[in-house]
């Protein structure tokens, strides 16, 4: 399908490129051209070629953006989509009590079909928040992947491997299945998967739940797998003081240092949360080019602490942003996360200039894409995936238009998202969903799941 988005303001998120007026041309899932409407273009030949390209194409859809903003979609770099059933059910508790007394007992009742429907609910919310890619860790990767493929969400799967669920063999099978298999098939000795027209939306990263839920033997097996495939590894890390102190008591090292000692990060990776990091921990991240994936909403709600984001930036440790799950955060809203990243950093540093909003917007888009291995979805440029959102600038919170990137972080809201496109397909526009399923049906399925799970359970 050929789509033309015109009469728009465009923020490509390319380095040092300011907002400009123009149009974006899309063919199938990729960007065909980004045309800047101005005189004196430095590369006149390229501009003329783009305009010629526009004139030669028959457009299936042409959308007048009416001066609204087109930009890359947000990359929600840490999610547990299937946890929507726990929204507002397990609140106002510290992390360990929250996990052991509320989350784990209820999760034990989930079926793959439950996770499919519950992930669908999360996808609806991601779309309203302008999220075009998620980095999802949960109990059944196949169920999450199926929901994402059916509804059109781009997803990087991360194993939630621990001593109680999954296995190193399953992790390797999933890695091969989603990253190395061709045409929807793999050798029968490994696995077989169903072909799906949107299979390219799914990729996979090696990951495990956390140091404190995995034995040393299991962690060593993960490190060996990472070396075998020369792959990065991701995990929850340094989320609470208790976690760090327990690891030091057990191994005489902080989580990052201990995991490095096993050879875990020879090919990079990242840590979710990274609230309580020592000098030595940060050196581990710098040494291996690892990503910090911060989750300020979740860390605030669970009173886990404030991550030293400004210090990571000073050390050139790349930072991405995630909402975490809808149980520990409740709201899957990247606008709120962006504001918290800059706001909490200012409080921690006691410096109102410590975290520039433009840097935070980069974390929520470009850095998230890089952390997830989505190099073709980071910016709006020719040949990149058409993962695009439109921001309604004709609302009071976005006026007057002085500095759009700062407006997005400081005053923007999910109510400003008027279109979310993934791979050249419009999945959300002006309050309507185009995901192949009725939202009301998804809501009904999820409420039935919760009703069944709570039967004879007292919280």
Instruction: Show the low-confidence residues of the chain (pLDDT under 70).
Output: 39-55, 182-194, 456-459
CA 180 to each of CA 154, 184, 403, 420: distance values in angstroms, whole numbers, following the listed order: 17, 10, 43, 29
Question: What pLDDT is stored for residue 189 in this prediction?
Answer: 41
Tokens of 5: 């988005």
3-state secondary structure of 436: coil
Rg for the chain (alpha carbons), in Å? 22
Q: Is 432 exposed, middle or buried (0-12, 13-18, 19+ CB in 10 A)?
A: exposed
Give the C-alpha distances (Å, rounded to integers) separating 446 from 64, 151, 174, 393, 452: 36, 16, 26, 34, 10
Neighbouring-strand partners of residue 433:
428
How far is the C-alpha of 364 from the C-alpha of 370, rounded, in Å?
11
Peptide bond into 400 cis (omega under 30): yes
pLDDT at residue 42 in the model: 46
Which pLDDT does position 38 carry in this prediction?
72
Q: What angle do CA 332, 377, 26 make, to 5 degrees?
A: 110
Count the Cβ atoms, other than its own, within 10 Å of residue 127.
Answer: 27
Question: Nearest CA to 196 among 211, 214, 177, 215?
Answer: 177
Distances 394 to 67, 334, 391, 401, 416 between C-alpha atoms, Å: 9, 20, 9, 10, 9
Whether the CB-CB separation of 262 and 282 falls below 8 Å is answered with no
Collapsing DSSP to helix, strand or coil, 268 comes out as: coil
Q: For 208, phi and psi rounded to 5 degrees?
A: -145, 160
Q: If we measure between CA atoms, which residue out of 161, 158, 236 comes closest to residue 202?
A: 158
Q: Which domains does the chain have, with CATH numbers?
A: 2-71+380-433 (2.30.40.10), 73-371 (3.20.20.140)
Contact between 356 and 435 (Cβ < 8 Å): no
Beta bridge partners of 136: 79, 157
3-state helix, strand, coil in the chain (%, to 5): 40, 20, 35
Contacts of 195 by beta carbon, 8 Å cutoff, 6+ apart: 183, 184, 185
What pLDDT is stored for residue 188 in this prediction? 44
**pLDDT for position 190:** 46
- Residue 185's pLDDT is what? 52
SS (H, E, C) 324-359: CCCCCCCCCCHHHHHHHHHHHHHHHHCCCCCCCHHH
């Amino acid at each position: 399908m050929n789509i033309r988005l015109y009469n728009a303001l465009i923020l490509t998120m390319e380095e040092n490129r300011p907002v400009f007026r123009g149009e974006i041309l899309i063919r199938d899932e990729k960007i065909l051209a980004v045309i800047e409407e101005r005189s004196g273009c430095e590369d006149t030949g390229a501009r003329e070629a783009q305009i010629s390209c526009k004139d030669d194409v028959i457009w299936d859809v042409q959308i007048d953006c009416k001066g609204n903003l087109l930009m890359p979609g947000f990359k929600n770099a840490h999610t547990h989509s299937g946890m929507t059933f726990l929204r507002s059910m397990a609140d106002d508790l510290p992390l360990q009590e929250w996990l052991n007394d509320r989350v784990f007992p209820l999760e034990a009742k989930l079926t793959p079909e439950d996770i499919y429907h519950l992930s669908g609910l999360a996808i609806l919310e991601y779309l309203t928040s302008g999220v075009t890619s998620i980095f999802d860790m949960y109990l059944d990767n196949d169920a999450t992947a199926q929901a994402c493929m059916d509804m059109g969400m781009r997803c990087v799967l991360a194993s939630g491997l621990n001593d109680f669920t999954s296995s190193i063999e399953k992790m390797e099978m999933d890695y091969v299945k989603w990253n190395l298999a061709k045409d929807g098939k793999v050798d029968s000795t490994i696995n077989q998967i169903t072909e799906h027209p949107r299979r390219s939306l799914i990729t996979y990263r090696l990951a495990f739940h956390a140091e404190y839920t995995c034995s040393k033997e299991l962690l060593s097996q993960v490190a060996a797998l990472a070396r075998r495939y020369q792959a990065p590894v991701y995990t929850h890390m340094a989320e609470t003081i208790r976690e760090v102190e327990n690891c030091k008591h057990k191994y005489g090292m902080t989580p990052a240092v201990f995991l490095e000692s096993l050879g875990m990060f020879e090919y990079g990776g990242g840590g979710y949360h990274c609230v309580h990091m020592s000098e030595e921990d940060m050196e581990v991240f710098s040494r291996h080019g690892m990503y910090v994936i911060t989750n300020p909403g979740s860390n605030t709600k669970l009173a886990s602490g404030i991550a030293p984001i400004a210090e990571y930036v000073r050390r050139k440790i790349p930072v991405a942003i995630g909402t975490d799950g809808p149980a520990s955060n409740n709201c899957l809203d990247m606008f709120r996360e962006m504001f918290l990243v800059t706001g909490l950093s200012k409080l921690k540093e006691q410096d109102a200039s410590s975290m520039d909003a433009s840097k935070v917007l980069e974390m929520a888009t470009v850095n998230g894409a890089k952390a997830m291995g989505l190099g073709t979805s980071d910016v709006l440029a020719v040949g990149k995936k058409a993962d695009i959102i439109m921001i309604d600038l004709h609302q009071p919170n976005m006026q007057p238009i002085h500095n759009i990137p700062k407006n997005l972080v400081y005053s923007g809201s999910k109510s400003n998202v008027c279109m979310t496109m993934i791979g050249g397909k419009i999945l959300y526009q002006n309050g309507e969903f185009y995901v192949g399923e009725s939202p009301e049906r998804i809501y009904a399925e999820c409420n039935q799941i919760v009703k069944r799970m709570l039967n004879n359970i007292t919280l």
